[in-house]
């Protein structure tokens, strides 16, 4: 076990090779924390380790594979003996084209966004139970506040992740393990740059990383941003059902029968 003295927290961050994860890694390292970084691609993690050699533990792997996740946890245990924070950020997004609905695509997205997180929770909890003021955090999405066009797979996976984390919050409270749900709106990342639609109030990744890190410092139950975008989604979500449908249907690429006459 590495016995070098550090003042920062011992943090496991998944999905750290790009986007929000990479920006959050930079932010947390700059704040003096130690990070165990996971992603499928090792090269970006090694680049961070080269710049922060005393603070980074590179633990790559496919988080949809339970054996790979168990091996990551074993390495963290051997090096640090415990975790103070686990941040489950790894995930993906694919959009449904409803005229060619594909169940296999839903399965892929749910596997990447929900099942991988469940594997990580199983691996992280024993380490968090040995940590200092332990915190489990997961990246859901602002899309969980309102059903949106083409988001059937992504939204369902992130809504399920939200429910998983909020239920864990209830059951882990007696053990002193806090749970934070992170709900970003649009953030400028390699994943979102592939989107072929308008992304209102999009934030740069470094700004999102600062907001997330600040929220984790407060052990916030919910870290949702940007606030005006979240407020708009919540307002629409609380409209009467038929009015809500009329509003969101206007965002759909499948026009209503009345629109095609």
Hey, which residues are catalytic here?
154
Q: Report the DSSP beta bridge partners of residue 38.
A: 14
DSSP 174: G
Distance CA 208, CA 230 (A): 14
Backbone angles phi, psi at 2, to 5 degrees: -75, 120
How close are the terminal C-alpha atoms of the chain, in Å? Answer: 70
Using the CB atoms, write b or e for 139-167: b if 16+ within 10 Å: bbbbbbbbbbbbbbbbbbbbbbbbebbee
SS3 label, residue 166: helix
Tally of CA atoms within 13 A in the half-sphere of 210 that contains its CB: 5
């Amino acid at each position: 076990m590495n016995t070098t003295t550090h003042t920062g927290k011992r943090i496991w961050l998944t999905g750290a090779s790009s986007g929000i994860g990479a920006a959050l890694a930079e932010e947390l390292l700059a704040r003096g924390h130690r990070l165990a970084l996971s992603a499928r691609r090792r090269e970006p993690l090694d680049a961070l380790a080269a710049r922060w050699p005393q603070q980074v533990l590179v633990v790559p792997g496919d988080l949809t594979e339970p054996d790979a996740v168990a091996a990551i946890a074993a390495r963290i245990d051997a090096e640090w003996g415990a975790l103070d924070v686990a941040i489950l950020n790894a995930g993906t997004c694919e959009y449904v084209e409803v005229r060619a609905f594909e169940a296999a695509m839903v399965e892929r997205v749910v596997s990447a966004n929900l099942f991988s997180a469940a594997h990580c929770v199983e691996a992280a909890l024993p380490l968090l139970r040995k940590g200092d003021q332990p915190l489990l955090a997961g990246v859901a999405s602002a899309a969980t506040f309102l059903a949106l066009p083409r988001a059937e797979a992504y939204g369902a996976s992130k809504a399920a992740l939200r429910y998983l984390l909020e239920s864990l919050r209830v059951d882990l409270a007696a053990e002193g393990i806090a749970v934070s749900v992170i709900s970003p709106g649009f953030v400028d990342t390699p994943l979102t740059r592939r989107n072929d639609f308008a992304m209102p109030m999009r934030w740069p990744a470094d700004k999102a990383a600062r907001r997330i890190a600040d929220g984790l410092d407060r052990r916030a139950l919910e870290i949702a941003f940007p606030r005006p975008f979240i407020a708009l989604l919540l307002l629409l979500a609380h409209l009467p059902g038929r009015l809500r449908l009329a509003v969101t249907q206007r965002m759909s690429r499948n026009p209503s029968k009345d629109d095609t006459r």
